[in-house]
Amino acid sequence: MKENVIKLKTPLTSEQVSKLKIGDRVLLSGVIYTSRDAAHKRIVDAMDKGEKTPMEIAGTVIYYAGPSPSRPGKPIGSVGPTTSYRMDSYAPRLIEKGLKGMIGKGSRGKEVIEAMKKHKAVYFGATGGAAALIARVVKKGQVIAYPELGPEAVNMLEVEDFPLVVINDVTGADLYEEGVKKYQK
């Protein structure tokens, strides 16, 4: 595994994400959007109806997360990643529209990995359960869509040096598979 630490700022381009390889450590800064189960359904429903999505999809990075409530004076509550496979049925639609990055935890399905290869997108892992630690990289947070979904609302987050690992790159490689192979007995 390479120990590169690469600094990136959103929005991302196909060229930027194509240079990333599994195992690369990334510090991501800029605006990202939280979206999980219920919000994904609404975003894809909006796309089906030809309606506007809450955020521009092209170049965007979506964070699969539903934060805990913010305390007064804090931009966000705890905000670790949720398990990504639940968004697998929606992700290819967004990748086709130019989504460049997804942040979550856990393995992705074949269709998502194929879509990432075809349209040049990557999947980043954040550390599951390190939610208080991750809260500290969030400088600003604001609900921008679907407030009625409560913790599943879409938040716009401004992050600074969010520590991530590339799990799937544009070649279709998978860090989970490679990492486990090394330590299997």
Distance in angstroms (rounded) separating the CA atoms of residues 58 and 168: 19
Q: What 3-state DSSP class applies to 155? A: strand
- Rounded least distance, CB 3 to other proteins, Å: 8
Q: Find the binder of other proteins among 68, 93, 143, 156 (CB under 8 A).
A: 68
In the region spanning residues 143 to 182, those forming contacts with other proteins, defined by CB under 8 A, are 149-152, 165, 175-176, 178-182
Among 6, 78, 143, 144, binds other proteins (CB under 8 A): 78
Residue closer to other proteins (CB basis): 80 or 98: 80
Q: Which is nearer to other proteins, 31 or 130 (CB)?
A: 130
Strands 101-104 and 138-145: unpaired
Residue 136 makes contact with other proteins by CB under 8 A? yes
Considering Cα of 31, then 34, then 39, then 44, what sign does the dihedral take? Answer: positive
Contacts for 79 with CB less than 8 Å, ≥ 6 apart:
34, 63, 65, 67, 68, 131, 134, 135, 138, 157
DSSP labels, 10-45: SSP-HHHHHT--TT-EEEEEEEEEE--HHHHHHHHH
Residue 40: active-site member: yes
Give the one residue of 130, 143, 156, 173 binding other proteins; rule: CB under 8 A: 130
Which residues form the catalytic set?
Answer: 40
> Which spans of this chain sit near other proteins (rule: CB under 8 A)?
1, 3, 23, 37-38, 65-71, 74, 77-80, 82-83, 85, 105-107, 125, 127-133, 135-136, 149-152, 165, 175-176, 178-185
